[in-house]
Chain A
Amino acid sequence: MGLAKRIIPCLDVDNGRVVKGVQFLDIRDAGDPVEVAKRYDEQGADEITFLDITASHQGRETTIHTVEAIAEQVFIPLTVGGGIRSIEDIRNMLNAGADKVSINSAAVYNPEFVKEAAAKFGSQCIVVAIDAKKVSVEGEENRWEIFTHGGRKPTGIDAIEWAQRMTSFGAGEILLTSMDKDGVKTGFDIELTRAISDAVNVPVIASGGVGNLQHLADGVTEGKADAVLAASIFHFGEHTVQEAKEHMQKQGIEVRL
């Protein structure tokens, strides 16, 4: 009896609508984010992650209002990511009702930003999102590198070293996305997840690649993830969060039901 492994539905939001691209193409509309968040809350989601993929400044105003509306009706932790680049961005999101913010490329461009953010707001609300891609070839020892720009731009930074550096800078949690697996529905990159989870002492959320309920369970049992994140298997009614938890519990994983 102890801490439950968390299931975190992720809302990719563009201009106030939930969307989910398959490898950044084929964007399908999945609805109003407030309605979607409420639905997941009712299904027993342990947290909700809201990733703002809106490019325009005007769209970002919409995001703040959406976060406010969710926070008024959903009483589980809410993480907001996408375009968090300054202390002011963090403050705006926390004031709107987010409990944590997820910092991605801004950490790559300026690692000190993570230090500053954690010192200012506390590690408990600073999530560092890591987009990693395998760069080792067959036969070599596994090596993953940090990529930016939706997986298009390599940085030369080793993913494991980066995760350790970010936690030493005050990240309270790591949101780990495999850019090889994201959107392809063949399961998490288990080796990557396990390598990062073993290397750091803060919780790791596995992301990228979930196509069925077993993938979620594998992320925990094989990947040693503390939480698993998925979007599309929940958005289009394929599965509910409740079903996912029941499936995991059958395999001996402790969940909150």
Chain B
Amino acid sequence: MSSKICAVIDYGMGNLHSASKALQYVSHDTQIMVTADPDLIAKADHVVLPGVGAMRDCMAEIKRLGVDQVVAEVAKSKPLLGICVGMQAMLTHSEENSGVDCLDIFDGQVKFFGHPLMETEGSQAGEKLKVPHMGWNRVTQSPHPLWQGIENDSRFYFVHSFYVEAQRAEQIKGRGHYGKDFVAAIGEDNIFAVQFHPEKSHTAGLQLLKNFLEWDGQA
């Protein structure tokens, strides 16, 4: 039997080495392909939509390369994982770069954390918070197969200035807090997306990637 294939969609935005190296590390017998080729992506068993950088540029490249159609096709059936800006691109609309329409896989908005951002809770209430939200923060889980073997409230590595506000509460699979509550993970059926970088989140992140590659897409 041939080995499984995981496609990491390359639409020219940023560094895909980290994601592909981490995926390879957790599954030696999966073939990791970094590609934008619709035919190759169609053959893959699992698909990852990563992304860094500004939303306007990301969406422009996604459309120029036809990645929007590829993702729409993948979203019908295959296990699909969005990471960081890849997650944000799955929402309806982002207010970054004066407003950008996104892929609208999930109902909701991508919003700016804001200047100034103040902590509202706990011992640090009233303190000015830096933007971007950079570093290790806790994620409170809602039940999902991709959290298997990961302790609730584990910390993951985040780097972002915009955050997701989801329309449908039942799609929220992980919650974070940084001055305000934000969606750290969102999912429905065969699609799961995370605001943090699992490929940079040490054991918890690697476990999530491993769970994804073993996932059959049934939520």
Contact = CB atoms under 8 A, between A and B. Distances in A.
Interface of A: 1-6, 41, 46, 71-73, 75-77, 94-97, 99, 121-125, 172-173, 201-203, 226-227, 252, 256
Sorted nearest first, the 4 A-B pairs with minimum C-beta distance are A122-B53, A256-B136, A4-B136, A124-B159
A139 to B, nearest CB: 30
Contacts of B53: 121-122
A6 B21 CA distance: 24
Given A75-B205, A122-B54, A6 B18 contact: no
Nearest to A254: B124
Given A3-B136, A201-B116, 7 more contacts: A3-B137, A3-B178, A71-B18, A76-B200, A95-B15, A172-B159, A203-B135
A2 B124 contact: yes
A71 B21 CA distance: 8
B4 interface: no
B25 A75 contact: yes
Interface stretch (B64-72, B98-106, B126-134): B126-134
B135 A75 contact: no
A155 to B, nearest CB: 26
A203 B134 contact: yes
Contacts, number: 96
A172 B132 contact: yes
The prevalent SS among residues of A at the interface is loop
A256 to B, nearest CB: 4
A2 B25 contact: no
The prevalent SS among residues of B at the interface is mixed
B149 interface: no
Contacts of A95: 15, 17
Nearest to A4: B136
Contacts of B52: 122, 124-125
Contact of B131 (A72, A75, A201): A201
Contact of A202 (B54, B132, B177): B132
13 contacts: A2-B121, A2-B138, A4-B137, A75-B25, A75-B200, A75-B206, A201-B115, A202-B130, A202-B132, A203-B132, A203-B134, A203-B135, A226-B130
